[in-house]
């Protein structure tokens, strides 16, 4: 695949993988993207997962028709992009390896060497000339690892964005970009909103015509759409008006309360009500929706004087990602000593701009008229 006349895609699709990073379900697989810029000198940008090293080298050789690379540019040292650095170094012994100083420190940890005789350490603002392609390096620490260095090619107006603007899914699968990019962002990058905001400010100073991420498709059209979404996500803004109801239920009574609230909200004209069973549904999708919508309702049982484990884990996932600027409602259930609301409020004490609804629903074992009335009041408040 040609990105331009002399920028060629040499990445791979992975349909063997079931869990990305050991936790994210990826039914459509993953893409590990790598690119070749063929000019007077040749640069390869990033490697691929270790299971595809031979295929990757074949892709490079096929793209170059007998020429050999002069550089391997390492933008990110996470193993799905760096695992084949040593393999590349052996295959192309004359090529230099380019990366940030911290990237070389990490290389020594992974490979037992920092390739000292071949390394070219670069920092923010440094350039590398390949001929007509003048590459400028842009430091992007904590997007989402500390060593990340992105690359801008002014000649072709291509921004090589490392893990930013990536998504789950292999490139040979057709699917909506935003859904899997959002799940990817909040799962993997979401904690680092401040750092992403800093990157977006740097990107705003560049004339970008194409974004080449390390996962997912090359972005060539309507770039403002992707940049605006990243701005919303990284500033913890509300992307879509609506409510997420996240529940756990042991015997079905808390689930009944959650579904009744959905019914009430929909009858009042709520534009979107998403409901997730935290014990059965994909946790990463629940996290994604919590950040997508402006309002969240947590419905859970009291359990061992605390809250149900799946709800506790869900809240921890939100807090790890700096959940903020949201309205939270609570439905608690407890037969003799309901504690869930108290526990939940305490967990969010250190969060920024979290407001709790005035109405909290308490279910004493099963729904009764009093609980139904409080659900009516909570629905009305969420719609106010």
CA Rg value for the chain = 24
Taking a C-beta distance cutoff of 8 angstroms, is the pair 322, 352 a contact?
yes
Domains of the chain: 2-234 (3.60.15.10), 240-383 (3.40.50.360)
What string of pLDDT tens digits covers the 384 residues of the chain?
Answer: 899 999 999 999 999 999 999 999 999 999 999 999 999 999 999 999 999 999 999 999 999 999 999 999 999 999 999 999 999 999 999 999 999 999 999 999 999 999 999 999 999 999 999 999 999 999 999 999 999 999 999 999 999 999 999 999 999 999 999 999 999 999 999 999 999 999 999 999 999 999 999 999 999 999 999 999 999 999 999 999 999 999 999 999 999 999 999 999 999 999 999 999 999 999 999 999 999 999 999 999 999 989 999 999 999 999 999 999 999 999 999 998 899 999 999 999 999 999 999 999 999 999 999 999 999 999 999 999
Taking a C-beta distance cutoff of 8 angstroms, is the pair 321, 291 a contact?
yes
Can you state the percent helix, strand and coil of the chain, rounding each to 5? 35, 25, 40
Neighbours of 51 (CB within 10 A): 15
Q: Measure the CA–CA gap between 89 and 184, rounded to whole angstroms.
A: 31
CA distances from 83 to 96, 218, 220, 232, 258 (A): 17, 22, 28, 32, 46
Q: Looking at the chain, how many residues does it have?
A: 384
Q: Measure the CA–CA gap between 380 and 376, rounded to whole angstroms.
A: 6
Q: Measure the CA–CA gap between 300 and 2, rounded to whole angstroms.
A: 51
pLDDT of amino acid 337? 87
């Amino acid at each position: 695949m040609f990105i331009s006349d002399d920028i060629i895609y040499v990445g791979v699709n992975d349909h063997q993988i079931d869990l990305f990073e050991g936790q994210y379900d990826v039914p459509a697989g993953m893409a590990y993207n790598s690119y070749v810029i063929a000019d007077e000198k040749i640069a390869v940008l990033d490697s691929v997962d270790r299971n595809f090293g031979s295929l990757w080298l074949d892709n490079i050789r096929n793209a170059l028709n007998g020429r050999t690379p002069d550089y391997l540019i390492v933008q990110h040292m996470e193993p799905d992009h760096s695992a084949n650095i040593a393999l590349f170094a052996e295959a192309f012994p004359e090529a230099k390896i380019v990366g940030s100083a911290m990237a070389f420190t990490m290389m020594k940890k992974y490979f037992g060497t920092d390739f000292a005789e071949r390394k070219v350490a670069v920092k923010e603002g440094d350039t590398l000339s390949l001929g007509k392609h003048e590459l400028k390096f842009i430091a992007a620490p904590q997007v989402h690892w500390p060593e990340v260095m992105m690359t801008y090619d002014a000649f072709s107006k291509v921004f090589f964005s490392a893990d930013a603007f990536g998504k789950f899914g292999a490139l040979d699968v057709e699917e909506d970009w935003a859904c899997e990019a959002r799940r990817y962002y909040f799962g993997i990058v979401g904690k680092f909103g401040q750092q992403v905001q800093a990157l977006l400010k740097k990107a705003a100073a560049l004339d970008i015509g194409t974004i080449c991420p390390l996962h997912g498709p090359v972005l060539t059209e309507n770039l403002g759409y992707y940049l605006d979404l990243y701005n919303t996500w990284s500033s913890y803004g509300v992307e879509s008006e609506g409510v997420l109801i996240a529940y756990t239920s042991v015997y079905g009574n808390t689930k009944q309360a959650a579904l009744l609230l959905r019914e009430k909200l929909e009858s009042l004209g709520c534009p979107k009500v998403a409901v997730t069973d935290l014990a059965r549904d994909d946790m990463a999708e629940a996290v994604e929706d919590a950040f997508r919508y402006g309002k969240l309702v947590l419905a859970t049982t009291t359990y061992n004087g605390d809250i149900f484990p799946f709800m506790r884990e869900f809240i921890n996932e939100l807090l790890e990602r700096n959940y903020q600027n949201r309205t939270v409602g609570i439905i608690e259930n407890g037969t003799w000593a309901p504690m869930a609301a108290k526990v939940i409020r305490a967990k969010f004490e250190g969060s920024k701009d979290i407001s709790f609804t005035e109405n909290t629903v308490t279910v004493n074992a099963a729904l009764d008229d009093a609980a139904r009335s409080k659900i009516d009041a909570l629905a009305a408040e969420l719609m106010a």
